[in-house]
Amino acid sequence: MPKRKISIIGSTGSIGRQALEVLEYLQDKFEITALAGGLNTDLLLEQAEKFRPKYVSSDKYDERLGKINGCKYLFNGLEEICSKKDENDIILVAVSGKVGLKPTLKAIENGIDIALANKETLVMAGDIVMAKAREKGVKILPVDSEHSAIHQCIKEINQVRKLIITASGGPFLKKSREEMHNATVEQALAHPKWNMGKKITVDSATLMNKGLEIIEAHHLFNMPYEKIDVIIHPQSVVHSAIENKDGSVIAQLGVPSMHIPIQYAISYPERFEGIKTQSFSFADIARLDFEKPDFEKFPSLNYAYNAGRKGGSATTSLNAINEEAVFAFLRGEIKLCRIYDLIENLMPQCTFIAKPTIDEIFELDKEARELTKKSLL
Ligand code: MN3
């Protein structure tokens, strides 16, 4: 078997670092074409020296990256990396936020399969991305643990009655709305089950992450919104489930670790022995709890269902307002629940286009971000 050629867009982020931990165990299966990072060039340099990719790319110029033996330095090289069809069997898109969309589209246009960890890509432009992928025969393999779970459960999509996405509930599940409102950045970043990047951790605290995942699931599995349910499951052991037409439910379980869905996305349709060698123990888990989500305390779920059902550019605007609001929260400028208020107040002010082009999506993304920034002044 020839080695599978892979590039990682966002290698210095949380998913990127864990992907390299996975790849360290699979060096006889994979060859790294490119590592692309943003501003953390110290870590990128360390990664490139260790893994010796053919290319390394950063958004911040750093001459040290140009001096690695056998490795070509591309400054802002995302587009170039995503154009190299012969050198990539799969590209892992592991950046956070809207920067994931362009490289993903570029890789799809070039017929390269995608392991997608960036849900914003589908929330912003799911119709366009999935249509393009179908046209080019490109696989979009989910890295998000819930969608990876669903992907593993589905045998035949026509047999599925509904998708059941699990949510840990985040750090405020058992806290009052008041406590949640006054949460500090530190409290919001203390996720009980998953160790992730800052943006997604705040999204998990507001449950907006789950909202975005509903939209992501709609696009990935071409499933209408009324057939996508969310259930709170604090242990994060059941990663998601499907219910088939005959009533049979299939769930995917495992320890809460991103290594498994990352590895599955890049090894699919095969499975390899990898970093997670320890066997799963039902006895150690002992119990699994489930409860209905509280839509009043976490209105983010309704925002997502509403924007999703409206379709078109509505989810683009939702994503943009949320992202800017989360950044403002992380900078300490607003309280956590202000994120909800901003979405609620600004969504009706955003221009709506039912079938936006990709240029219109970027324009509407910008419009929603500007509206958000203006109301923060
Ligand atoms: Mn997830």
Residue 23: CATH number of its domain: 3.40.50.720
296 and 184 inside one domain: yes
- SS3 at position 55: strand
For the cut 90, the answer to whether the pLDDT of residue 1 exceeds it is: no
What is the model's pLDDT at position 192? 72
Give me ligand 1 centre to Cα 11, in Å.
18
* DSSP conformation class of 38: S
Give me ligand 1 centre to Cα 313, in Å.
23
59 and 155 inside one domain: no
Give me ligand 1 centre to Cα 268, in Å.
19
What is the model's pLDDT at position 122? 98
Q: What is the mean pLDDT of residues 120-125?
A: 96
Give me ligand 1 centre to Cα 207, in Å.
11
Give me ligand 1 centre to Cα 167, in Å.
8
| Cα(138)–Cα(79) distance, integer angstroms | 17
What is the model's pLDDT at position 114? 98
Give me ligand 1 centre to Cα 157, in Å.
21
Give me ligand 1 centre to Cα 62, in Å.
33
Report how many domains make up the chain. Answer: 2
Crossing angle of helices 198-206 and 208-221, in 10° steps, is 100
160 and 251 inside one domain: yes
pLDDT band at 95 (very low <50, low <70, confident <90, very high): very high
Give me ligand 1 centre to Cα 113, in Å.
20
Structural domain of 258: 147-310
pLDDT tens, 277-335? Answer: 889 999 998 899 999 999 999 999 999 999 999 999 999 999 999 999 999 999 999 99
Q: What is the mean pLDDT of residues 204-229?
A: 97
| Cα(254)–Cα(59) distance, integer angstroms | 36
What is the model's pLDDT at position 143? 98
What is the model's pLDDT at position 286? 86
177 and 288 inside one domain: yes
- SS3 at position 254: coil
Q: Exposed (0-12), middle (13-18) or buried (19+): which is 164, by Cβ within 10 Å?
A: buried
Q: What is the mean pLDDT of residues 93-110?
A: 94
pLDDT band at 84 (very low <50, low <70, confident <90, very high): very high
What whole-number percentage of the chain has pLDDT above 70? 100
What is the model's pLDDT at position 161? 98
Give me ligand 1 centre to Cα 213, in Å.
7
Q: What is the mean pLDDT of residues 209-223?
A: 98
132 and 252 inside one domain: no
Give me ligand 1 centre to Cα 307, in Å.
19
223 and 298 inside one domain: yes
Place of tokens 């060698």: 277
What is the model's pLDDT at position 27? 96
For the cut 90, the answer to whether the pLDDT of residue 353 exceeds it is: yes
Give me ligand 1 centre to Cα 57, in Å.
27
Give me ligand 1 centre to Cα 89, in Å.
24
287 and 209 inside one domain: yes
Q: Which helix (H) or strand (E) element contains residue 327? A: helix 314-330
130 and 19 inside one domain: yes
| pTM of full prediction above 0.75 | yes
199 and 116 inside one domain: no
- SS3 at position 281: coil
For the cut 80, the answer to whether the pLDDT of residue 88 exceeds it is: yes
Give me ligand 1 centre to Cα 264, in Å.
15
Give me ligand 1 centre to Cα 208, in Å.
11
Does 321 map to a domain?
no
Tell me the one-letter amino acid at 155. Answer: K
List the beta bridge partners of residue 116.
Answer: 93, 142
- What torsion, rounded to 10 degrees, do the Cα atoms 8, 221, 191, 285 define? -110
Task: Return the half-sphere exposure (C-beta side, CA atoms, 13 A cut-off) of residue 20.
Answer: 24
138 and 152 inside one domain: no
Give me ligand 1 centre to Cα 242, in Å.
16
What whole-number percentage of the chain has pLDDT above 90? 91
158 and 134 inside one domain: no
What is the model's pLDDT at position 129? 98
189 and 283 inside one domain: yes
Give me ligand 1 centre to Cα 26, in Å.
24
Mean pLDDT of the chain: 96
For the cut 80, the answer to whether the pLDDT of residue 195 exceeds it is: no
Asked which of 295, 310, 325 is the last residue of a domain, the reply is: 310
Give me ligand 1 centre to Cα 75, in Å.
31
For the cut 80, the answer to whether the pLDDT of residue 196 exceeds it is: no
- Report residues near ion ligand 1: CB below 5 Å: 144-146
Give me ligand 1 centre to Cα 22, in Å.
18
Give me ligand 1 centre to Cα 107, in Å.
23
Q: Exposed (0-12), middle (13-18) or buried (19+): which is 72, by Cβ within 10 Å?
A: middle
Reduced 3-state DSSP string for 180-208: HHCCCHHHHCCCCCCCCCHHHHHHHHHCH
